[in-house]
Amino acid sequence: MEGRKSVQIDYDSAEPVYLQIARLIFDQIIKGELPVGAQIPSGNEIQQSKGVTRVTYQHAVDRLREAGLVATRPGRGTFVVAVPVVQEVDLAPGDQVSARMPTEREREGSDAGLSPVLVVTRADGTEEVYPASVTVCRARISGACQEAPEIHDTGHQ
């Protein structure tokens, strides 16, 4: 996988390996490390470097394909075909943000599947739910917006 970041797998995690692979490749797409047209690491590359079976890798690719992010070209590989739009949410004084797994209704109403969501509770008590993987929260300080430091939720309590 020369020129690509290594995919790190945590076999002790409660998160299934195929979801870890899908999430890590998803993160590389979001960050622009795998732009549209780029080939994602092949099953053989992942199998050789991480010991992941082809079936496990295929489940990860299926998730990315279902999300409309990649397409497989037989005999050539799997390529990035779309990049999700990152949504920015401005936070005002008194707003709070928490992360959790989506409810069944939220899963049915979006293509987020089992990906975590961010819940923004506004100072007036209203709640807004956003997909955590593509949402950036920015805190307003003295009327201006300042980007909050990047935080990666591993889903562990």
Asked whether residue 70 is assigned to any structural domain, the reply reads yes
The pLDDT of residue 154 is 44
Apex 153 CA angle, 147 and 156, nearest 5 = 155
Q: 19 or 142: which carries more pLDDT confidence?
A: 19
Q: Are residues 143 and 94 in the same domain?
A: yes
Q: Supply the range of the domain harboring residue 35.
A: 17-80
In the chain, what is the greatest distance between 2 CA atoms, to the nearest angstrom?
A: 56
- Residue 100's H or E segment, with its range, is strand 96-100
CA proximity to 16, closest of 48, 59, 54: 59
Asked whether residue 122 is assigned to any structural domain, the reply reads yes
Asked whether residue 8 is assigned to any structural domain, the reply reads no
Residue 68's pLDDT band, with cuts at 50, 70 and 90, is confident
Residue 149's pLDDT band, with cuts at 50, 70 and 90, is very low
Asked whether residue 153 is assigned to any structural domain, the reply reads no
Asked whether residue 12 is assigned to any structural domain, the reply reads no
Q: Are residues 59 and 31 in the same domain?
A: yes
CA distance linking residue 52 with residue 42, whole number of Å: 11
Q: Are residues 69 and 27 in the same domain?
A: yes
Q: Which residues of 110-128 are buried (b: 16+ CB within 10 A; e: fewer)?
A: eebeebbbbbbeeeeeeee
Q: How many domains does the chain have?
A: 2
Asked whether residue 2 is assigned to any structural domain, the reply reads no
Q: 154 or 103: which carries more pLDDT confidence?
A: 103
The pLDDT of residue 125 is 96
67-71: average pLDDT:
89
CA distance linking residue 153 with residue 157, whole number of Å: 10
Q: Are 9 and 18 in contact (CB under 8 A)?
A: no
Q: Are residues 21 and 76 in the same domain?
A: yes
Q: Per-residue pLDDT tens for 95-136?
A: 999 999 888 888 776 655 567 889 999 999 999 998 887 787
pTM score? 0.60
Helix, coil or strand: residue 106 = helix
Residue where one domain finishes, among candidates 42, 65, 80 = 80
